[in-house]
Amino acid sequence: MKDSLPISEPKRIARALAAQIGGVFVGDPGVIHNLIVGFCAGLHVLIEDVPGVGKTTLALALARSTGLDFGRIQFTPDLLPGDILGMTVWSAERRDFLFKPGAIMHQFILGDEINRASARTQSALLEAMQEEAVTMDGTTYRLPSPFFVIATQNPASFTGTFLLPESQADRFGISFSLGYPAPEAEVTILDRFSEANPLEALAPVTSAQEVDAIREAVGRVRVERSIKEYLVAVARLTRSSAKVKLGLSPRGTRHLFRAAQCEALLDGRDFVIPEDVLRTAPLVLPHRIVLSADAKMEATSAIAVVAELLGKLPLPAGV
């Protein structure tokens, strides 16, 4: 693995990934960028939207472009934690219990319709997403590196869904929605998928070693103290706002810090500016704050609340 990458290399790889994904997924290029930020930063991604708008296609396009070992988990109400993590089984041949790995033992995991499984099964991902390991019968098994989870979910009002617990949502570093495509984009979808699935033609444009090197490079991006204080001020404002019942956790602050570092790196810089925080905050904050009853009565969205709170804080100067 490379010890370090030239400052221009992560930006080049991100552009190559975006070009590959854009050849399959039809939609806002900003959505592709959001996904790549999560992937390069090592922040798990949650995509919530109605069925059929391209969530799975977007995830599969990234998976095929990275060259990572891929595993897909289709979440259903009857899925059990052991199906995800694995289990110990008796081997008559060896006369001993052996660990049978579950579906989580891959570098790149697509959790499709994650909120169709029960909270018990959803919680099976907690240790894996936080520690990149699973523990069974007192033994801890490390997951492959690099490790990345992208999950899709249907809106909570849909039939057959279970609300994602706050502790589970907080493990996802980035979340966004796709929305319905514009009319001209939908025509492009019909043209692009009329004869063959363009996913089949995708080839990797990067490797596991390069992904590890990019994530190491993200951690080396310089963040001035004034930016760190600004991040903490954002977090504290969410915890004191009358419109927010549950504010940003310290883990959420760390994820915002990491996302801002990655945003800077993919822009070709080795230092963070306030605009990096403003760009990534709408991806990191809304899915992990819980609105107050009054805010819900006013039909205010978490995204709108985050935008309002960010507007109250002056940006750090001199960065």
Residues 6+ apart with CB under 8 A from 99: 86, 87, 88, 136, 139, 141
Per-residue model confidence as pLDDT tens for the chain (319 residues): 345 788 889 999 999 999 999 999 998 999 999 999 999 999 999 999 888 889 999 999 999 999 899 999 999 999 988 899 988 888 788 888 888 888 999 999 999 999 888 888 888 888 899 899 988 888 888 999 999 999 999 887 777 788 888 888 999 999 999 989 999 999 999 998 888 888 988 999 999 999 999 999 999 999 999 999 999 999 999 999 999 999 999 999 999 999 999 999 999 999 999 999 999 999 999 999 999 998 888 888 999 999 999 999 999 986 6
Q: Dihedral of CA 108/235/262/275: which sign?
A: positive
Domain boundaries, the chain: 9-213, 221-312
What is residue 1's predicted lDDT score, i.e. its pLDDT? 38
This prediction's pTM = 0.91
What is residue 118's predicted lDDT score, i.e. its pLDDT? 87
CATH architecture of 9-213: 3-Layer(aba) Sandwich (3.40)
Contact 130, 171 (CB under 8 A): yes
Q: Cite the DSSP H helix spans in the chain.
A: 9-22, 29-41, 55-66, 81-85, 119-122, 125-131, 166-169, 183-192, 208-219, 225-240, 250-266, 274-284, 293-297, 302-312
Between CA 254 and CA 234 the distance in angstroms is 12
What are the φ and ψ backbone dihedral angles of 118, each rounded to 5 degrees?
-70, 165
Fold of domain 221-312: Helicase, Ruva Protein; domain 3 (1.10.8)
Between CA 138 and CA 173 the distance in angstroms is 28
Between CA 38 and CA 266 the distance in angstroms is 11
Which token pair is 240? 């004191």
Rounded to a whole number, what is the distance in angstroms from the first to the last CA of the chain? 33
Q: What is the largest CA-CA distance in the chain?
A: 69
